[in-house]
Amino acid sequence: MTESVLRVEGLKTELEGSGATVRAIDGVELDLRRGETFAIVGESGCGKSMTALSILRLLPETGRIVAGSVAMEGTELLSLPEAAMRGVRGRRIAMIFQEPATSLNPVLTVGTQVAEVLMRHAGLRGEAARRRALDLLDAVGVPDPARRLGEFPFQLSGGLKQRVMIAMALAGEPDLLIADEPTTALDVTIQAQVLDLLRALQRERGMSILLITHDLGIVARMAHRVAVMYAGQIVEMAERGRFFSAPQHPYTLKLFAALPGAGKRGGQLAVIPGQVPPLTGEFAACRFAERCEFAFDRCRSATPAWAALGEGHEVRCFLRETRRAEPLGSGRAPSAGPAGAPLASGESGAARAKPLLAVRDMKVHFPIRRGLLRRTVGHVRAVDGVRLDLAAGRTLALVGESGCGKTTVGKAILQLVRPSAGAVSFEGVELTALRGEALRKRRNEFQIIFQDPYASLNPRMRVADALGEGMMALGTETDHVAVERRIDELLAQVGLPREAKYRYPHEFSGGQRQRIAIARALAVRPKLIVCDEPTSALDVSVQAQILNLLKSLQRELGLAYLFITHNIAVVEYLAHDVAVMYLGRIVEAGGAEEVLRSPKHPYTQALLAAVPRIEAAGEEEFARLEGELPSPVNPPAGCHFHPRCPSATAKCREAYPEAVRLSPTHAVNCILYREQTNGG
Amino acid sequence: MTAYIIRRILYAIPILIGVNLITFALFFLVNTPDDMARMQLGAKRVTAEAIEKWKAERGYDKPMLYNGSAGGTAAITDTIFFEKSVKLFVFDFGNADDGRNIGYEIATRMGPSLALAIPVFMVGLAVNITLALLMAFFRATYLDVWGVVLCVAMMSISGLFYIIGGQYLVSKLWNLVPISGYAGGVDSVRFLILPVLIGVIGGIGSGARWYRSIFIEEIGKDYVRTARAKGLSEATVLFRHVLRNGMIPILTGAVVVIPLLFMGSLISESFFGIPGLGSYTIDAIQAQDFAVVRSMVFIGSVLYIAGLLLTDISYTLVDPRIRLE
Amino acid sequence: MAPLVLTAILMIVPLAAGTLFIALSRAMPVVLWTDALIFLLLAAMAAYFWYVRRHEHLAAPWRRVAASSVGMSALVVLLAFIAVGLIDSLHFRPRLAQPGAGGEDVHAVQVLSLLDELARGLRSRAERTYSAPLATRAYSKEMLELADGTQVRDFPRLAHGGAHLKDESGRSRDILARCLAALALALACWGVLAAVLAAALARRSRARFGDTWRALLGARTRVPWRAMLITAGVLLAVAFPAAALSARYHVLGTDKVGQDVLYLALKSIRTGLVIGTLTTLVMLPLSVLLGIMAGYFRGWIDDLIQYAYTTLNSIPAVLLIAAAVLMVQVQIDTHPELFPTAAQRADLRLLFLCIILGLTSWTGLARLLRGEALKLRELEYIQAAHAFGVSHARIITRHILPNVMHLVLIALVMDFSGLVLAEAVLSYVGVGVDPSTISFGTMINAARMEMAREPMVWWALLAAFTFMFVMVLAANLFADAVRDAFDPRLRMGN
């Protein structure tokens, strides 16, 4: 076996919480080899980031390491004096963080921040440091590096900032790079670029990477070995191949089963009952026992030790000690391959009955005011001519990267932002023409669910008041008794106990809050719900619960969803129809089957290809999308996508392409297909 | 950038007009010149003639807003509003009750005011930032905890106590510097050293504590963690990263008071007998010299607005995010 | 929440006793404007805490305040000051001994407070002029006529200070004895207090008295009762000897006209409290309403409100206050018929000072709330309310106001100490309270003239500064505890 770079043993870290000590890491061991990528995967709060920070001894001031050993090629890091430890940070071990936007110093230039590492660890100064910094920026794929050196972080896009972070990390030529959710804040196409970069750098430099992530897709794409963390401990460790083909720990199995995707369309997603146990006490039992469907007596009376299954596959589970090779549950991770079940049943028939919602050529332009008299000098064309159709009981997914205007579309349909132009027809009524009371009267028919379960509920309002607010304001229920009855009914509908109504939002977890937000939207019996990324702030197991709930509500109540998201797996699981948005416009729309299985627009193709998938573990992907989303203030002339399009021709620059109908439901705005249809 | 500054200056005009109207309303409408005359001349036993004379001496015997008896433009200009309020805009302040020209007084008294205010401002800023950085560096140790306690105690002490206590100790007991007074030139140092010292000490409590909280907030930010992950020492992190970011709110917060330094410090100047604008203002308030108070209100507003403008400009200078936008 | 109950008791007992006293002595109750507002404020606070007790999410930050030993110790000191201030806020006109012609009660024109009544001795035992703390003789020499008719220049004996002493050399012994006796009494009272507290705690938690007692002494209670008891003990240890000595001596000396300085200091407390609290009461509606409106509605409403507060802010505060106070002074002087008693005139000027200070200081909080409202209006729960067609008024009252209340509360406690300090400066400048109102500012102003005397008359200054320092320090420490408990940003940072 290759030599070990970093060996962590029995690491325990505590965080001083308000009143109680949280054992954030409770005995972690891992062994990182030279040149490998080792992924730690787990849900929020499991201690994966704390592990990374403990290794570098960069814990927040409330945290402290209470036991264990972290040895880097024989040097014990935990007992090093602080001054010597500073020699390790940035030189032997470098780290990049989740939020490139806040992780760079806003008032220092990129050049200074890179050169700082060179000065500290390589003793380079002045021109030498500058030249080396230039090389580094070049190596991480920052275009025009000489100019970028003199720029400040705010002048860089998110993807470029993360590249600069990586350049800074590489400056000390570390043996180990710790990447803590390095792409979570980035769009999927940018994520793909950054992940590729990391992989290429690793190959060139033989550096080890400790990758911390919650995304199994990224693990599949990046990792050589994988560890799953749960409640402060690693519960399973394996080579990537074995991990994805034969996961063993019941928690790992549940994580796989909770992932949405095309293969699970018909059915419910698996959910993990209960919640992560509080980490304030000592565990006398398996920490997953309470939520495990295979748990037996022993699981509740003793803590499981590692069970070795061979080939480096280890798992902390009593089941594996007793029934060694026998597969648990369905055995392989229940993820359907690309050739799974058809996406939506009866897609072509499409029940194109009466459209509930028809959006035509909708535009939302925000004026930019400049100069002495605050004259309008231009517009942010957040939404620039969008057409959508949604029928009752169906789900239309609006897909796109951040900044493409999809959230504004949702708000404009609800008239929370007034469209600058175009038509929004709801059940034949033109909403943009309604004002004041007339609009208020119809507001019960369309509602919205937001992304952030913490910001979407007023912390000062009891659940009952939050749920009752809409009914009171819109007068949908006749009297107080009816309101109370409706609240009980709603809580039952979203799977919360009746007592919940007397409580305040802070007493609920993120998933429960999102249920309350759903109940609040349902309270006024809407026909359409705009779901604005309702699961993107949730862990995968909680996301599964919410998706299941949304699906069953749609079945029972015949709701129509406009599902705004960037998560392709969720779209595959939930959507009947898909519209892909790029820079304020829809570039491709059609049935889910049509758009996701045979994407036509080059952007759709690139977007889908960029999504890391667990099915594609280890396979090489095709061409990446270059560059980043242009500004909606000055969209490129002609087809908005042409500067990034691999198939762009001179013609693309001339005019925005008309929609081309490929089937009764499938339309694409791309010049490639006009020629095709003309030719054919 | 230029357009921005011009817009800000234009924005100041309605504010100055507002200030002008407020002072006019306070000094002439809420209380009529008759009321003021009666109060100044001694309440009850004044005669109507005495009041008329008092008013005529000061030019308060004209109509308020419109002079019906005068023709042409004089109908507007020969009024109290025009004479006493509009003329402030061209810095024509008229005369004080003692007959001296207010504009001239202001010009001569600015020097001593600045001689006291500028050192207090500069030294105070330096001392407070240094102390705040020290506390931030030793955060969560006893040094920090007791530093904060000391700051809270110091800001709980009345400013008057610092002055009186300082005068007693330094001037009276130890006889180091004169208790009060002023002289021009180099000689002024002798008179200024104590008030400057006291001004600085009096500001430490709230200043150092506030700056410390700014630094502590910065230390909690992500970029500081990045800097530590680079292997930089705590001092480098503090001085290169935290200080630069913390200086943005500190400097821009300090800039707003720079023009107001001209106004001098009310209490210090009058205690130490420094013939600046602060003591001028206090004397005017105590003598109920309305013409001087009105002029100082107007000048104060002009300087405050200048401070706001400077703040905006300083933001663009110290914060690259705004400078390059 | 136990400290709140304690606070309530501490506030109610003196008020009830005072009312009873006024009723029994058939005095004529006088409610000054500031009294009425103080009681209104008290009622509002009581209503707030009653509401908080029933809402866990509101009570939680107060629990954190209650767990802070520095904050709670400061509260004990503050409560002592507030109790003095409240006793000083029950005003009446005493009944004259001589009944009227028809046998009805006749009342004096002089308005007294319950504190004046309690400290009647201090008030009545005036000397002719200056005397040092605990002195038996005056501070300056006078021509004295001896028994044999010869005249000498010497320090005369005081009329009251130490007048009971036959032999002045026994002064130190006398003082020591009185102090020790008072300390013994203080210790006894303190012991009773501690025992009662322990018993009450034991009863509430249904624990054994002994266990509770030990928990109390070992500081193992969640509320830092031990720290509070120690503070109370220190207060008692200062107050009892001072009270005991003040019966025979002038503990803090006398001022130029021979008034007892301790009495002046005690009277100043109410003035400080009134300015510290009523000013915020005036300012609060303005800043909350305008600040939230500016941030929530934006557009021209925002422009207008911003214009208003920039304009007001641009006038130097002292000058604006000075101008306004001068105007008020003119009004008062020209309309003497409106004020039946001197106390009412002085009180109205105090109230106006509060209003003027409030009008000049609302801008800071308004700006803060504007920024907060700007942030809140973009939050998703407000968007959701818009999606329900909820009216603006309802969104502001149900969604925005409750979510900025912590800022209002922090501003309220933080402003208090600044206002108390400002009063001293303004009174010094001559635009503060009425010269006849006893306040820290007027005390300092009067004593400043004595600086030049040789040897210096220091006690009045020192008394004013010490009382003010203790009050402001307690307020600042309590404000810190409140801010730490309420500011979510601060709590996350640590």
Would you list the DSSP string of C358-385? HHHHHHHHHHHHHHHHHHHHTSHHHHHH
Percentage, residues of chain B above pLDDT 70: 98
pLDDT at position A467 is 92
Nearest to C390 among A411, A455, A469 (CB): A469
Q: Is residue A1 over pLDDT 70? A: no
Range of the domain at B288: 108-324
Q: Which partners does chain B have (≥3 C-beta pairs < 8 Å)?
A: A, C
| Domain shared by B152 and B59, yes or no | no
Q: What is the nearest CA distance from B234 to chain A, expressed in angstroms?
A: 10
- State pLDDT tens for residues A549-589: 999 999 999 999 999 999 999 999 999 999 999 999 999 99
A461–C399 CB contact, under 8 Å: yes
Residues of B in contact with C451 (CB under 8 A): 164, 167-168
Question: In 3D, which of A529, A652, A530 has the Cα closest to residue A587?
Answer: A652
Question: Considering only A253-267, A341-355, B79-93, C47-61, which range has the smallest mean pLDDT?
Answer: A341-355
Q: How many CA atoms lie within 13 A of A73 on its CB side?
A: 11
Q: What is the nearest CA distance from C488 to chain B, expressed in angstroms?
A: 13
B231–A152 CB contact, under 8 Å: no
| Domain shared by B266 and B174, yes or no | yes
> B 203-242 residues with CB below 8 A of A?
221-223, 225-233, 240-241
For position B144, which CATH number holds?
Answer: 1.10.3720.10
A172–B230 CB contact, under 8 Å: yes
Q: Are C264 and C440 in contact (CB under 8 A)?
A: no
pLDDT at position A223 is 93
- Angle subtended at Cα A386 by Cα A380 and Cα A388, rounded to the nearest 5 degrees: 150
Phi and psi at A582, nearest 5°, equal: -140, 120
C-beta atoms surrounding C358 within 10 Å: 20
Residue B102, in any domain of the structure: no
| Domain shared by B127 and B259, yes or no | yes
Residue B242, in any domain of the structure: yes
Q: Which of A111-115, A121-125, A505-509 has the highest mean pLDDT?
A: A111-115
Q: Which of A306-310, A396-400, C244-248 has the highest mean pLDDT?
A: A396-400
| Domain shared by B69 and B188, yes or no | no
Nearest to A95 among B229, B232, B324 (CB): B229
**A439 vs C: CB within 8 A:** yes
| Domain shared by B158 and B37, yes or no | no
More confident residue, A370 or A97: A97
Q: Complex ipTM, two decimals? A: 0.88
B225–A58 CB contact, under 8 Å: yes
- State pLDDT tens for residues B121-153: 999 999 999 999 999 999 888 999 999 999 999
Contacts of C396 (CB under 8 A, 6+ apart): C292, C293, C296
Q: Which residue of chain A comes nearest to B6, CA vs CA?
A: A372
pLDDT at position A173 is 92
Q: Per residue of chain C (494 residues), what is the pLDDT tens digit?
A: 566 677 777 778 878 888 888 888 888 888 888 999 998 988 888 888 888 888 877 888 888 888 889 999 999 999 999 999 999 998 988 888 888 777 778 888 888 888 888 888 888 888 888 888 888 888 888 888 877 888 888 888 888 888 888 888 888 899 999 999 999 999 999 999 999 988 988 888 888 888 888 888 888 888 889 999 999 999 999 999 999 999 888 999 888 888 899 999 999 999 999 999 999 888 899 999 999 999 999 889 999 999 998 998 888 888 888 888 877 877 777 777 777 778 888 898 899 999 989 988 888 899 999 999 999 998 999 999 999 989 999 999 999 999 998 889 888 888 899 999 999 888 888 888 888 889 999 998 888 777 777 777 888 889 999 999 999 999 999 999 998 888 765 543 33
Domain boundaries, chain C: 268-477
Question: Which residues partner with A89 through β-bridges?
Answer: A93
Question: In 3D, which of A562, A568, A571, A607 has the Cα closest to residue A587?
Answer: A607
Domain stops at, among B24, B56, B90: B90
pLDDT at position C213 is 87
pLDDT at position C178 is 93
Q: Categorize the per-residue pLDDT at A345 as very low, low, confident or very high, splitting at 50, 70 and 90.
A: very low
Counted domains in chain B:
2
Q: Categorize the per-residue pLDDT at A90 as very low, low, confident or very high, splitting at 50, 70 and 90.
A: very high
- Residue C468 CA to residue B162 CA, distance in Å, equals 13
Q: Is residue A401 over pLDDT 60? A: yes
| Domain shared by B158 and B81, yes or no | no
| Domain shared by B128 and B62, yes or no | no
Chain B / chain C CB contacts < 8 angstroms: 131
The structure tokens listed for A424 are 């929004």
Residues of C in contact with B304 (CB under 8 A): 313-316
A117–B230 CB contact, under 8 Å: yes
Nearest to A89 among B231, B320, B324 (CB): B231
pLDDT at position A522 is 92
Preferred mutation among B301, B302, B303 to probe C, highest tally of C CBs within 10 A: B301
**A155 vs B: CB within 8 A:** yes
Question: Considering only A263-277, A366-380, A532-546, C296-310, which range has the smallest mean pLDDT?
Answer: A366-380
* A548-570 exposure pattern, b = at least 16 Cβ within 10 A, e = fewer: bbbbebbeeeebbbbbbbbbbbb
Q: What is the nearest CA distance from B250 to chain A, expressed in angstroms?
A: 15
Q: Which partners does chain A have (≥3 C-beta pairs < 8 Å)?
A: B, C
Residue B48, in any domain of the structure: yes
Preferred mutation among B7, B138, B139, B223 to probe A, highest tally of A CBs within 10 A: B223
- State pLDDT tens for residues A158-209: 889 999 999 999 999 999 999 999 998 888 888 988 999 999 999 999 999 9
| Domain shared by B221 and B129, yes or no | yes
B19–C314 CB contact, under 8 Å: yes
| For range A53-79, the mean pLDDT | 92
Residue B263, in any domain of the structure: yes
Question: In 3D, which of A342, A273, A260, A272 has the Cα closest to residue A547?
Answer: A260
Task: State the helix-helix crossing angle for C317-334 and B277-287, rounded to 10 degrees.
Answer: 10
A448–C387 CB contact, under 8 Å: yes
Q: Is the peptide bond before C455 cis (omega within 30 degrees of 0)?
A: yes
Residues of C in contact with B168 (CB under 8 A): 451, 456, 458
Residue B101, in any domain of the structure: no
**B140 vs A: CB within 8 A:** yes
More confident residue, A369 or A373: A369
Residue A405, Ramachandran bin (φ over 0: left; ψ between -120 and 50: alpha; else beta): left
pLDDT at position A340 is 42
Q: What is the nearest CA distance from B71 to chain C, expressed in angstroms?
A: 33
- State pLDDT tens for residues A452-470: 888 899 988 889 999 999 9
Phi and psi at C280, nearest 5°, equal: -65, -35
Q: What is the nearest CA distance from B237 to chain A, expressed in angstroms?
A: 11
Question: In 3D, which of A432, A385, A376 has the Cα closest to residue A581?
Answer: A385
What domains does chain A contain, in order, with CATH numbers?
350-427+527-679 (3.40.50.300)
> DSSP letter string over A255-286?
HHHH---GGGSSSPPP---S-PPPTTS--SS-
Residues of B in contact with A107 (CB under 8 A): 244-245, 248, 318-321
3-state class (DSSP) for residue C305: helix
| Domain shared by B11 and B141, yes or no | no
Q: How many CA atoms lie within 13 A of A513 on its CB side?
A: 24
Q: Categorize the per-residue pLDDT at A348 as very low, low, confident or very high, splitting at 50, 70 and 90.
A: very low
- State pLDDT tens for residues B183-192: 877 888 889 9
| Domain shared by B76 and B197, yes or no | no
pLDDT at position A580 is 94
| Domain shared by B208 and B266, yes or no | yes
- Residue A330 CA to residue B304 CA, distance in Å, equals 74
Phi and psi at B79, nearest 5°, equal: -130, 165
Nearest to A58 among B229, B248, B320 (CB): B229
- Residue B290 CA to residue A620 CA, distance in Å, equals 85
3-state class (DSSP) for residue B105: helix
C319–B31 CB contact, under 8 Å: no
Question: In 3D, which of B125, B139, B155 has the Cα closest to residue B252?
Answer: B125
pLDDT at position A372 is 65
The class that CATH gives domain C268-477 is mainly alpha
**C397 vs A: CB within 8 A:** no
The reported pTM is 0.88
Residue B99, in any domain of the structure: no
